[in-house]
A and B are shown apart, each in its own frame.
Chain A
């Protein structure tokens, strides 16, 4: 969007558009202003300053170009930094979410399993089970135990509940009628059984030797008068937990003490290892047939980068980036990892990017509008005080400045000043004979002549059609007289190009010196009267109300 705006505006700048052409007019009038460059230009005639004109236009364009360049550099920088800050904040929020999820699911999982741990205890203390282990050959006792276990299994939603003797043979099981019944099978190689026979609780995860289904086993010793006589075992498939994990907008994995993932929301991660297994670990896993013949290959992470002490960013081989946290379940010897997709913060990041882009676009547009407004105001001001044709001041400007001049004079800050009213002789004839274009050419030339003869601080004004007025500051009273004479002489010696190249122009003038207490109108009235007299007396001359040396110009 920014680029679009930038490009379109750049194109507008490079084309001779209305702005550009308007600029040239404005510049022309501005040159006529009383700053040093403009004044010099008035003195030499506007058309003699093409370099300055171009310089002004270029300077104005450079200003726009600089603004654009600044924004082209600044916008990506702002977008980049806002993206970084937002992402960092988003990830911090995500880490807090991951922490909550980790606590929630670990506790959930642990409580879920603990229920069955306790349940295995009640199976182990059941009278029917005690009877079974005491009389394993008694058919009715076995049947009663089978039925009891079957009913219990249905009630507690476990996978299988079964009882083993000291040799590891399964005497009764809830699946006694099933095709792959555990009854009669020997599972003495399992670590949970060995633990239970040692008189302590046995808990393990393994792929079923008969069913081939991975499950969690909770075993308890069955005690008869303080002696271990067998083990009661509950098997869970963990399917309920897996389904719960799979439904989440994050990944959860649980690994055993060797780092083998046995439960994961992503089924493909199962039996992958978080750390390379040592030969003794492999041997131990093989000995208890924990994961049957499943190959235990490393879980591949492409990149891991810690964020703080407990959370890290990791990229998996499918290219997805996650924020991960982990904790240990020390009572079981497991570890649980929660992986939240880092893309969860993407929305915030996109929003930040768009917001910062918009801010830049608005800032750029506002700045452009401000610059343009400033330029237009400047142009309007220039147009209001400058005559379009000659570049001299207008009567409106005169009103303000001349009054100020009078005040300065009255306060004694200026020695003296005078008003010189200059009128082109027989100007109507020029218009009639050569047309208005020639008339304009003459007016421009007279304007230039006046501007070239006056000094800085004097005020040249186009007063009427062919009538000009100059407010001249003078150190001595007759300074102005000399200036007016020079102006008239210059007008007289002016040469033109084109159809009027043979034309000779003269002008008449009346110079009135300011008298204290006088108003501007009174001063101008007196100057006008003197001009009138000069016109009456044959033109091509001027009259001065103060300096005796004034006489008709030769």
Chain B
């Protein structure tokens, strides 16, 4: 038996010795949100998956610096702004997967398959119902209304979430109306932009302001959290009537991916039915694939009509949006 032991060990270790295929993912999504899916994929396909978590800006910089030497196969990040920037910088490669094209609605994917949305988040308006009449808030346009002067809380306009919203409004209204809107919002600010979306919600709850513009999953997660349920219980929300800006968390195969096929497989795995539910539910997001059940918390927030304009189209307005935001920031009050 003792003589057989090394042989046995060799047999057990053999597969891992030869398993050189390992998928490397650069992601800005928090590891705990990815871990269950990585584990399932690893087990199902026998592929070793390495997840490198960093802020999206850093990931793009790293991919650029690494160039052809990059070990990354897949970029997983949030917001069309980042994904489009990655595409524009030539960091992603087209992925013509018919499966992904059939599963992901066209408005949430790049026409050439450089990026695909995997979960959706909506930019929603949260307000204090005791201080704001519900009728006065029906669309994003109302955030610029003079009636809200000194009552609006919003994170920095320079943040990618607001850049993408501005791009969406540019696609909807054109430059002039969007500029006026941005200026109106700036005039309405209750305080200089600070903190993240959660901070804006807390600020409304703590009476610093009356209205805030936030991403849906922050609000849903606060509703689900024992510590913060109290904070959000006082607040009401409104889904903008003329189409809600829905953004994505998604990914694309990197330009110099050592294992492009593995990266495509993993994207297809994430678009699968079970993964979609898990991917969305873990972060209180909406699944990108039509027909996947939505969490109770999000269902309680109600249905809304998403902006019908494809994100790829909205992404084209990005540069203009950045420019407008810069101009508005430079304008003195």
Q: With a CB–CB cut-off of 8 A, which chain B residues contact A327? A: 287, 290-294
A229 lies within 8 A of chain B by Cβ: no
A255/B296 in contact, CB under 8 A = no
Q: With a CB–CB cut-off of 8 A, which chain B residues contact A102? A: 291, 293
CB distance from B291 to the nearest CB of A (A): 3
Q: For chain A residues 245-279, which have a beta carbon within 8 Å of chain B?
A: 255-257, 259, 275, 278-279
A106/B290 in contact, CB under 8 A = yes
Given A200-B308, A330-B286 in contact, is the A310-B291 Cβ separation under 8 Å? no
Partner of B305, one of A279, A310, A331: A331
B120/A330 in contact, CB under 8 A = yes
Closest to A325 in B: B293
A104/B291 in contact, CB under 8 A = yes
Main secondary structure of the interface of A (DSSP, over half): mixed
Partner of B308, one of A255, A283, A331, A335: A331
Q: Which one of B273, B296, B304 has the highest number of Cβ atoms from chain A below 10 Å of its Cβ?
A: B296
Q: With a CB–CB cut-off of 8 A, which chain B residues contact A306? A: 296
Query: B243-263 CB contact bits vs A (8 Å, 1 = yes)?
Result: 010100000000000000000
CB distance from B239 to the nearest CB of A (A): 7
Q: For chain A residues 335-368, which have a beta carbon within 8 Å of chain B?
A: 335
B134/A278 in contact, CB under 8 A = yes
Give bound CA distance, A264 to B253, whole Å.
Answer: 42
Q: For chain A residues 73-125, which have a beta carbon within 8 Å of chain B?
A: 98-99, 102-107, 110
B295/A331 in contact, CB under 8 A = no
B85 lies within 8 A of chain A by Cβ: no
Closest to A95 in B: B293
Query: B305-331 CB contact bits vs A (8 Å, 1 = yes)?
Result: 110100000000000000000000000
A328 lies within 8 A of chain B by Cβ: yes
Q: With a CB–CB cut-off of 8 A, which chain B residues contact A335? A: 299, 302-303
Q: With a CB–CB cut-off of 8 A, which chain B residues contact A104? A: 291
Give bound CA distance, A275 to B302, whole Å.
Answer: 9
Closest to B282 in A: A309
B293/A99 in contact, CB under 8 A = yes
Closest to B273 in A: A103
Partner of A99, one of B273, B290, B296, B302: B273
A329/B293 in contact, CB under 8 A = no
Q: For chain A residues 291-312, which have a beta carbon within 8 Å of chain B?
A: 306, 309-312
B291/A330 in contact, CB under 8 A = no
Give 14 A-B pairs besides A102-B293, A334-B303 with Cβ atoms closer than 8 angstroms: A201-B308, A255-B303, A257-B302, A259-B303, A326-B293, A326-B299, A327-B292, A330-B120, A330-B306, A331-B105, A331-B306, A333-B304, A333-B305, A335-B302
B292/A103 in contact, CB under 8 A = yes
B296/A106 in contact, CB under 8 A = no
B293/A310 in contact, CB under 8 A = yes
Q: With a CB–CB cut-off of 8 A, which chain A residues contact B107? A: 331
Q: With a CB–CB cut-off of 8 A, which chain A residues contact B290? A: 103, 106-107, 110, 327, 329
Partner of B291, one of A107, A259, A334: A107
Partner of A312, one of B135, B244, B296: B296
Pairs A-B, 7 closest by C-beta atoms: A333-B305, A103-B291, A310-B293, A106-B291, A330-B306, A335-B303, A325-B293
A374 lies within 8 A of chain B by Cβ: no
CB distance from B295 to the nearest CB of A (A): 5
Q: With a CB–CB cut-off of 8 A, which chain B residues contact A283? A: 135
Query: B118-134 CB contact bits vs A (8 Å, 1 = yes)?
Result: 00100000000000001
Give bound CA distance, A279 to B107, whole Å.
Answer: 33
B213 lies within 8 A of chain A by Cβ: no
